Structure 1
Amino acid sequence: MIRLADHVDRISAALNRIALWGAVLALLVMLLSASWQVVARYVLDAPPIWTEELSRRGMVWAGMLGASCAFRAGADPTLFPAMRHYRGGTGMALSLIRGAGVVIFATPVIWYSVFNARMDPARGFLGRSLNRQAEMLEIPMIFFTAAVPVAFVLIVIHMTAGILVRASGRLPANETPREDIET
């Protein structure tokens, strides 16, 4: 169990590093395209038509990848943040409840990204995006809409790694024990 937990945790950490770099890159794309829009509009008096759309697409990728990184780091919003500090059986039970919440929320998002209600992948969220073009950027929309299922798959991987690490008797890296909480 410990080897499996370590392996999945390493995969989660590697994917998190890639997602973090992707979020930073997307933020830079957003910042640079918005900056160019301002300069081109007010200094050159010739605003390009593609900068606003590229900024929006960069914002989506930065937000979705950033959300997955926040989940891994334990910086995501939660109603009961002290629950992460419990160890032992109580901590494991609370971690499984949190994991169930993640699965209940993420599964339909991932499922309907691939399939529609009739199990037709051509009519799923990504399938429909494959045939649509961005308004100002002549790029299929799937390159932008893929951010949603990618982020949710990453969150499920991070959640699985956290549960496996906790099941191996350790706390995940983003969780620290507190002395004032009994286990």
Structure 2
Amino acid sequence: MTAIERASAGLDRACLILAKLALGGMVLAVLLQIVARYVFDYPFIWTEELARYLMVWAGLLGATCAFRRNLDPVILRVPADAARVRIVITSIVLAATVLIFLGPILYHAFYGSNGTLARGFLMRAANRTSPGLGLNMALVSSIVPICCTILLIHLAARVVKGPTEQDQE
């Protein structure tokens, strides 16, 4: 196992744990909101916001886990007994597609359309605060470049590993 494959596996374990914690936290926040609203007739203003942010984090972290396990949606599955050339071309198209999709997202997370840091997604988010929790929105939004980076590491590990039967299922 190469270093990039070990890094991918370690990140996958961490993402899975964090996604599970985020889902559990989301459930607890919603339950707290239900109890506060219907039992005590005093709903909290921050529970819905917390559940929403945890849902975003859980979803994006879970997406990285799905990608690593080849459970993400695909348009075409290549059979395991396909010609080697077809399997390689499919892997190249997958890598190109992921790079074309994630490249601009990762770039614009830091740089704005005019190429300055001040206009990037995270810097604009840093200038805002969530109304209920008072969190800096850059903290909430930071999951976007984090997940893009993790997906690129998973892609690199997949490329280094080469196409396997699991990729073709």
TM-score normalised by length of structure 2: 0.92
Counterpart AA for 1:175: D
Deviation at 1:95, TM superposition (A): 0.6
How do 1:7-156 residues align onto structure 2 when only pairs under 5 Å count? 7-82=3-78, 86=82, 88-156=84-152
Q: Give the letter aligned to residue 146 of structure 1.
A: S
The share of aligned pairs that are identical, in percent, is 37
Give the secondary-structure state (helix, strand or coil) at the position aligned to 1:58: helix
Instruction: Give the equivalent residue in structure 2 for 1:181.
Output: none
Unaligned runs of 5+ in 1: 179-183
Question: CA distance change for structure 1 residues 14 and 87 in 2, over 3 Å: closer, same or farther?
Answer: farther
Q: Secondary structure at the match of 1:37?
A: helix
Structure 2 unmatched runs, 5+:
none
Instruction: Check whether the contact 1:85–1:91 (CA below 8 A) recurs between aligned residues.
Output: no
CA-based RMSD: 1.9
- Residues 89 and 54 of structure 1: is their aligned pair in 2 closer, same or farther, counting only changes over 3 Å? same
The code of the aligned residue for 1:162 comes to R
The CA deviation string for residues 48-99 of structure 1, in whole angstroms up to 9 with x for no partner, is 1100000000000001011111000100000012367757443222111110
TM-score, structure 1 as length reference: 0.86
Count of aligned pairs: 169
**Cα separation, partners in 2 of 1:162 and 1:50, compared to 1, 3 Å:** same
Is the contact between residue 78 and residue 87 of structure 2 (CA under 8 Å) also seen in structure 1? no
